[in-house]
């Protein structure tokens, strides 16, 4: 199988898109693993699950108390990311019950 490279526009060629579509339709039991060495469970012990996962962001208008916004901004760049992280932590704690 050839490595899929993108055009300078960042889009796949029609041939590459068709090949990816065919691969997605391939049942798991038909995947050829002959070029991949077998691994052991202990090799995956420190694997980071979801390390490269990036949720889709949604822009919205949200009213937050001015003193809260000021407090986040005082901590430096990335205040919106910090707010998002705190909200995600709260969501994760709620959904684990």
Q: Is the pLDDT of residue 4 over 90?
A: no
Provide the mean pLDDT of the chain. Answer: 88
**pTM as predicted:** 0.49
Instruction: Determine the Cα–Cα distance for residues 93 and 45; give it in Å rounded to an integer.
Output: 24
Closest CA to 18 of 2, 34, 33, 29: 2
What is the tens place of the pLDDT at every residue in 51-61?
888 889 999 99
What is the tens place of the pLDDT at every residue in 8-30?
567 889 999 999 999 899 998 99
């Amino acid at each position: 199988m050839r490595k899929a490279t993108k055009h300078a526009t960042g889009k796949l060629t029609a041939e590459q898109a068709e090949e990816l579509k065919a691969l997605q339709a391939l049942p798991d039991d038909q995947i050829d693993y002959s070029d991949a060495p077998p691994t052991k469970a202990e090799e995956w012990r420190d694997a980071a699950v979801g390390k490269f996962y990036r949720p889709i962001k949604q822009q919205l208008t949200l009213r937050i108390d001015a003193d809260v916004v000021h407090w986040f901004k005082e901590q430096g760049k990335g205040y919106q990311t910090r707010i998002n992280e705190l909200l995600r932590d709260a969501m994760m704690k709620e959904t684990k019950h």
